[in-house]
Amino acid sequence: MEGGRGGANVAMVDWLVPLCMFGAAWMWMHRWGQRGHRGPKSWPLIGCVVEQASNFDLLHDWLLYYFRRLATFSVPMMSINNTFTVDPLNVEHILKTNFRNYPKGELIHERFVDVLGDGIFNVDGEKWVRQRKVAVLEFSSSKLRDHSINAFRTKALKLIHVLSLAACSNQAVDLQDLFMRLTLDSICEVAFGVDPESLSPELPSVPFANAFDEANRLIIRRYVDIFWKVKRALNLGAEARLRRCVQVVDDFIYGVINTRRAELKDAQPDSTERADLLSRFMSLPNEEGAPYTDKHLRDVVVNFIIAGRDTTALTLSWLFSMLCEHPRVVQNILEEAKSVLAANGKGNGTVDFDKCDVPDFARLLTYQALNKMAYLHASITEALRLYPAVPLESKIAVSDDVFPDGTKIKAGNFVSYAPYAMGRLEYIWGPDVMEFKPERWLRDGAFQPQSPFKLTAFQAGPRMCLGKDSAYLQMKMTTLMLLKFFSFKLVDNHPLKYSMMVVLYMANGLKIIVSAL
């Protein structure tokens, strides 16, 4: 019996040794075939999974490292390839020239559906077309614009009150958290017609906002967790936490929807039509001509919250982190504002810029006045160049294609462009690429826009962000009101690093000492 087992073991060794030698030789030949290769390391069967997963928390800088060598490269992962590019011509090809070949696709849709549902950021085809058409009409509405401006002004005044209390106590504040509260209250007012009052002086915990942020952190990891579907089916680990977060988000949104339906049902026939987006979508048919269901409304609103809350708050956060280090830029912003508001007020008995109080100054910041402030616009745009709120975008190729630079794309594979890396490359922006320099956007004092395929913070082509003007409006109003009445100083040795999420979230917040002027 023992001799039989020994013979079997010898036979197994005789079989395993050449197999292992063959495997080692195969992997060596694979790596040898990549000699001189300047992209990420790829291995048989698993592709670049190991290197990408080990660098996931610093993914944008990992990609930037390779983009400084190559404008376009491939990152194979198991059974699918992802081609990354920062070439503006390739980006234009993806977003405009061959737009129909690069939808979100089912692979991306299924990764984000638990949070985004079938909202405008996560669908293609007729669903996207219909939501886009409705959104275009709404965002071009003067009624919505006026409603938004009033909301932005009201919430900014509340933020000033919170900062005034902080200035009196000489305590550090997390400005990113305050901006998140500001934009949450603002977008909920614009989108829902409700105020969560998260910017109250006591800064209450907001379960909806906390769950929303945690869901964003968890869902992005589906790109590197090959077992996420199994975990979701079994309700395990990160997928179980994600499900709980989504439930909190849904409870809040469905509660608002139910309340609004009841209000509209009880409203008098001659009552004034509400200006918020939820009420507007409730009054319109969906892509099939039927009223929007609660699920459709939930998806629509969640996507607008992401667009109106996270992106604006994070851009303001990164902007103020740089304004703390560039007092010259702060001075230029204030001098421009003083000049513009003085010109606007000639003959109208306007209040004195240097002596006006907070409410008077807020009233001066009209849509027309803010649109004339080119240096302020350039400063925000420069922040977006270095710190785009959405640092990485991916699509799926429907058919085989060839990029303008000659890169071959196979049907069914991912293609991605990287706004974070694009804003940090010398061959796109010049040798001063890492300088925070609003002047690069100005010519003879006027704002000089550049190709949207070079600065892709708001996407470009048919999917160009509809809320761009609204976002700039809120950021300008908030920035001016804060700089007019406060000075800001970064807490010593405070680390400014991003957290790996769908958006470019500051991992440690933005700890600031604020002083009243």
Residues of each annotated binding site: 465
- CB neighbour list of residue 60: distance below 8 Å, 6 or more residues apart: 391, 392, 418, 420, 421, 498, 504
Q: d(Cα 254, Cα 50) in Å, to the nearest integer?
A: 41
430: left (phi over 0), alpha (psi -120 to 50) or beta: left
Residue 129 has which token pair?
A: 């077309």
* Residue 35 β-bridge partners: none
As a whole number of angstroms, the longest Cα–Cα distance in the chain is 110
Centre a 10 Å sphere on the Cβ of residue 394 and count the other Cβ atoms it contains: 18
Integer CA distances (angstroms), 78 to 65, 81, 223, 437, in order:
22, 8, 12, 42
Q: d(Cα 188, Cα 193) in Å, to the nearest integer?
A: 6
Give the distance, in angstroms, between the CA of residue 241 and the centroid of all CA atoms in the same chain. Answer: 22
Q: d(Cα 234, Cα 122) in Å, to the nearest integer?
A: 25
Integer CA distances (angstroms), 495 to 109, 321, 378, 393, 499, in order:
34, 11, 26, 26, 12
Residue 115 has which token pair?
A: 């949070």
Residue 44 class from Cβ within 10 Å (0-12 exposed, 13-18 middle, 19+ buried)?
A: exposed
Q: d(Cα 370, Cα 367) in Å, to the nearest integer?
A: 5
Give the distance, in angstroms, between the CA of residue 315 and the centroid of all CA atoms in the same chain. Answer: 9
Centre a 10 Å sphere on the Cβ of residue 220 and count the other Cβ atoms it contains: 20
* Alpha helix stretches (DSSP H) within 346-425: 358-364, 367-371, 374-386, 419-422
Q: Which candidate, 288, 243, 291, 221, places its Cα nearest to that of 502? A: 221
Q: Which candidate, 31, 38, 84, places its Cα nearest to that of 394? A: 84
Known binding positions for heme: 465
* Residue 516 β-bridge partners: 486
Extended strands (E) in 157-258 = 173-174
Q: Report DSSP state, residue 350.
A: P
Polymer length of the chain:
517
Q: d(Cα 385, Cα 319) in Å, to the nearest integer?
A: 11
Q: d(Cα 405, Cα 389) in Å, to the nearest integer?
A: 27
* Residue 396 β-bridge partners: 414
Q: Which candidate, 103, 107, 106, places its Cα nearest to that of 77? A: 107
